[in-house]
A and B are shown apart, each in its own frame.
Chain A
Amino acid sequence: KAGVTQTPRYLIKTRGQQVTLSCSPISGHRSVSWYQQTPGQGLQFLFEYFSETQRNKGNFPGRFSGRQFSNSRSEMNVSTLELGDSALYLCASQIAGALNEQFFGPGTRLTVL
Chain B
Amino acid sequence: DQQVKQNSPSLSVQEGRISILNCDYTNSMFDYFLWYKKYPAEGPTFLISISSIKDKNEDGRFTVFLNKSAKHLSLHIVPSQPGDSAVYFCAALNNAGNMLTFGGGTRLMVKP
The residues of A with any CB-CB pair to B shorter than 8 Å are 4, 33, 35, 40-45, 48, 55-56, 58, 90, 92, 97-107
Q: Which one of B34, B43, B89, B101 contacts A100 once the chains associate, using CB atoms below 8 Å?
A: B34
A44–B32 Cα gap in the complex (Å)?
17
What is the CB-to-nearest-CB distance from B49 to chain A, in angstroms, rounded to a whole number? 6
A55 to chain B: which residues have CB within 8 Å?
98
Number of interface residues of B (CB under 8 A): 25
Tell me the B52-100 residues at the A interface (CB within 8 Å). Answer: 89, 91, 93, 97-100
The residues of B with any CB-CB pair to A shorter than 8 Å are 4, 6, 9, 32, 34, 36, 41-46, 49, 89, 91, 93, 97-105
User: A40-B9, A42-B105 given as contacts; is B42 within 8 A of A106 (CB)?
Assistant: yes
What is the CB-to-nearest-CB distance from B36 to chain A, in angstroms, rounded to a whole number? 8
A58–B101 Cα gap in the complex (Å)?
10
Known: A43-B89, A100-B93, A102-B46. 11 other contacts (CB 8 A): A42-B89, A42-B105, A45-B99, A45-B101, A48-B98, A97-B97, A98-B32, A98-B98, A100-B34, A103-B43, A103-B46
Q: Is B103 a contact partner of A90 (Cβ separation < 8 A)? A: no
Q: What would be 16 A-B contacts, judged by CB atoms less than 8 Å apart? A: A40-B104, A42-B6, A42-B105, A55-B98, A56-B98, A56-B99, A92-B43, A98-B97, A98-B98, A100-B34, A100-B93, A102-B46, A103-B43, A103-B46, A105-B43, A106-B43
